[in-house]
Structure 1
Amino acid sequence: MSAGIGCHMPFVRAASQASWGLWDRYASETISADGRVIEHSREARTTSEGQAYALFFALVANDRVRFDTILDWTLNQLWTNRAEPPAWLWGQRKDGTWGIIDSNSASDAELWIAYSLLEAARLWERPACQQLGTELLAAIRSSEMARLADGGFMLIPGKSGFRLGERTYLLNPSYAPVQVLRRLASRQPDGPWQSVAANQVSLLVRSAPAGYAPDWYRFREGVGFSVEPAKGPTGGYDAIRTYLWAGMLNPEDPSFSELLASLGGMAKAFAASGRVPHYVNVQTGEVFGEGPAGFSAAIYPFLVAAGHDRLAVRLRAQMESDIERLWSSLGYYDKNLLLFSSGWAQGRYRFDVGGFLQLGNNSQ
């Protein structure tokens, strides 16, 4: 790790200030001493998503030591060219060396990294973090933004492989939380983020005809949104985050009620069966299998937001039981979903109507 490459302050660091037990456990099991989030079950690889989520959790926990090490590793290994978005995949190459395996990018990770940098700058009074966050926004705008014929903007999932043809794009509805876009718009009010947010809301509403979010969807200018033939009408691994982001959206957000109504199928499925399905046909509403612990946790904020109080109480008890009984056997993705949801359930953080992070210390 190169000292000072990130946005830490020029002072001697104290011991970790984090008091969030689940985050401490996750970090001690998953994050290396130099700040790399390791997916032990997947050949010890590291993704930009993992680094992004860990930055956010460290910010919520006021864990400045880990925030700095995670950021430094990300800058040194994934985001070495500030004019380009970070590479999304790092690990052991076929020749046995370690480094970037795929230099393509993942805009969902970059949004969370930029968000965490801007909020670290505000909450911790670190101007250098704001500069880094602004540089990342510029990289996203130059590589992962589609300029539409009507003058608006749409975020695409990465710099390569998502432009399918003339004004036709492959989109992932879970990639752009509305609250994160609101915060970016406040940083750059003359930028594309308000337009991106409006188009994201349209994507979420129009891609869920039966009340369920898809993993992937297609947009073609002049035609609109439709199922992507290569992916099919499936909502599962990616889409589960869509309910999580919508549930944590501030109730005063202008899109709050519309999104809750459009994505209400998952709450109905849980009410009917007591389980969260693993996969859904987003056109017919047919559900398949039972999702893992992270899936159940992901819909908890949505149930709270939609006023399903009894279901929410039941699901929170299940989430706490899953953490107690299953944590050691869970993979990276489930653990991250549990961290998002349990931290929110405990009142450790909220998003205000402008997307700014509000921190609390409630651990009830």
Structure 2
Amino acid sequence: MMSEKLLNSMMRTILSAAAAAVLFVSAGSAAAWGLWDDFKTANVEKARVVDYSDLRRITTSEGQSYALFFALVANDRTTFAGLLEWTEKNLSGGDLTKTLPSWLWGQTGGGWGVIDTNNAADSDMWIAWCLLEAGRLWNEPAYTEKGRAMMALLKKEVRDVRNLGRVILPGRVGFEDKDGSVKLNPSYYPLFILKRFALEDAWWNSVYDGSLAMLVRSSPSGFAPEWAKFAPDGRYVVPDGTDYHEGSYNAIRTYLWAGMMSPEDPARPALVRQFAPMVEATRALNFPPEKTDVVTGDAGEPGPDYFGACVLPLLGDGRTAGLIRTVLTREGVRRDRYYGNVLMLYGLGFDEGRWAFDPDGRLVVRIEEARK
């Protein structure tokens, strides 16, 4: 009879080969994804993602970056190319390799155009990552080169904070004081993106380390804040102001990115432990709280249903996770709820096993043929 040790060894080999096979074939036909099709119908207009809850019918670099990710997962090359072209032309002055996208575009008094030229680092990171992975999975070197060029631009926005490490400023303007203090947004730093960057340039490993330290230090009570301030010596400080004391609509994404990390990423267990109070609060309320106090650890009333999508990857199986899945699946996409829609696509898509991230931040896409 085969020994348990040998059997386990064989199973690990088989699973590793299967994972490699998925990585290899993930440029093929991805499983059909009805929720993505619904989102395109509701929120994508001529290759731009529209937030209809704003009277200016705005488009953000965030929305474009998220849609690029969903198109990549769905193997929707036509939509991916259209989104990229629109973003480059309208948010980057025609060249992503030279100018990071402006974060806000929409209807102005003089017509349509850029409303705020500042960039949003999280969106830039997602776009660069999508380009690197599209280049790899679809064998499109032009995408890879654009992704690398965006990484070079992002490198200029990195600051080395003493006793904390290297972190990316949320944008070019408004996040750095003259004394060296920095204002950061914990929801801006999916660590798997930085892992993927490090495959192109090992220098980014130090940004991964600094970002991990920032995530842990900024949530001493187990709840992530909307914004976090760090003094020049790396101390986490909590100034007066709701943004620094409260975690809500920005911070909720922090749990989503942590939950989607590869189980083999050594940082994931640390973040799971750190954010355990949010998981406990979610189970007590059935949905995540809308607001949390990052100083006292107090949690408020349940937030909108789509907040549940962000905690779903940390919940695992159980009654609360089952309830969230049921409610979100029943609700579906709503045209006037852009932000809720994208969070729902992330949470449910990952929960359904449509994609995963390997330990180096590469995308593993579920292929329908591989499941037959």
The two structures have a TM-score, normalised by structure 1, of 0.88
How many angstroms does 1:152 deviate by? 4.4
Verify the 8 A CA contact 1:293 1:322 in the aligned structure 2.
no
Matches within 5 A, 1:182-221: 182-189=195-202, 191=203, 193-221=204-232
Offset at residue 18 of structure 1 (A) = 7.5
Task: State the 1:37 CA deviation.
Answer: 0.8
1:69 to 72, 75, 82: 82
Q: Distance in 1 between matches of 2:174 and 2:227?
A: 13
Q: Give 1:167's aligned residue.
A: 180
- Are residue 263 (structure 1) and residue 275 (structure 2) matched? yes
The 10-residue stretch of structure 1 (235-244 or 271-280) with the greater mean CA deviation from structure 2:
271-280
Deviation (angstroms), 1:249: 0.6
Name 1:343's counterpart in structure 2.
Answer: 349
Matches within 5 A, 1:1-364: 19-33=32-46, 35-42=47-54, 43-80=56-93, 81=95, 82-95=97-110, 97-142=111-156, 144-149=157-162, 152-189=165-202, 191=203, 193-230=204-241, 231-304=243-316, 309-323=318-332, 327-328=333-334, 331-361=337-367
Structure 2 Cα separation of the partners of residues 76 and 342 of structure 1: 31
Cα RMSD of the aligned pairs, angstroms, is: 2.0
Q: Which has the larger displacement, 223-232 or 282-291?
A: 223-232
1:78-114 deviations in whole A, cap 9, x for unaligned? 112532311101111222x111111000000000000
Equivalent pairs, count? 338
**Cα distance in 2 for residues equivalent to 1:205 and 1:318:** 31
In structure 1, list runs of 5 or more residues that go unmatched: 1-15
Distance, in Å, in 1 between the alignment partners of 2:350 and 2:225 is: 24
| SS class of match (1:99) | strand
Whichever residue aligns with residue 39 of structure 1, its letter is D
Distance in 2 between the 1:244 and 1:275 partners?
A: 14
Tell whether the 8 Å contact from 1:217 to 1:228 is kept in structure 2 after alignment. no
Contact 1:114–1:133 (8 Å) recurs in 2? yes
1: CA distance between counterparts of 2:334 and 2:77? 26
Contact 1:347–1:362 (Cα < 8 Å) also in 2: no
Secondary structure, counterpart of 1:22 in structure 2: helix
Helix, strand or coil at the partner of 2:177: strand
Please identify the structure whose Cα radius of gyration is greater.
2
Gaps of 5+ in 2: 1-28
SS in 2 for 1:299: helix
- Aligned to 1:91, the other structure's residue is in SS state strand
Asked whether the equivalents of residues 162 and 234 of structure 2 are also in contact (C-alpha less than 8 Å), the reply is no
The AA in structure 2 aligned to 1:129 is: Y
Give 2:178's aligned amino acid: G
Q: Distance in 2 between matches of 1:106 and 1:141?
A: 14
Give the drift of 1:228: 3.9
Query: Are 1:18 and 1:24, in contact at CA under 8 Å, matched by a contact in 2?
Result: no
Whole-Å separation in 1 of the counterparts to 2:275 and 2:122: 20
2:26 alignment partner in structure 1: none
Deviation string for 1:160-188 (max 9, x for gaps)?
00002321000000101011110111111
Amino acid at match of 2:120: A
Which SS does the other structure have where 1:101 is aligned?
strand
Shift of 1:273: 2.1
User: Residues 129 and 228 (structure 1 numbering): CA distance in 2 closer, same or farther, change over 3 Å?
Assistant: farther
Q: 1:151 to 1:357 in 2, by over 3 A?
A: same
Structure 2: which amino acid aligns with 1:90? W
The residue aligned with 1:4 is none
- From the superposition, tell whether residues 187 and 309 of structure 1 become closer, same or farther in structure 2 (CA, over 3 Å): farther
Q: Which one-letter code corresponds to 2:238 in the other structure?
A: V
- Output one character per residue of 1:243-297: Cα deviation in whole Å (capped at 9) or x when no partner: 1011111111111111000011111112212221111001112122321122011
CA distance in 2, matches of 1:159, 1:264: 33
Q: TM-score, normalised by structure 2?
A: 0.86
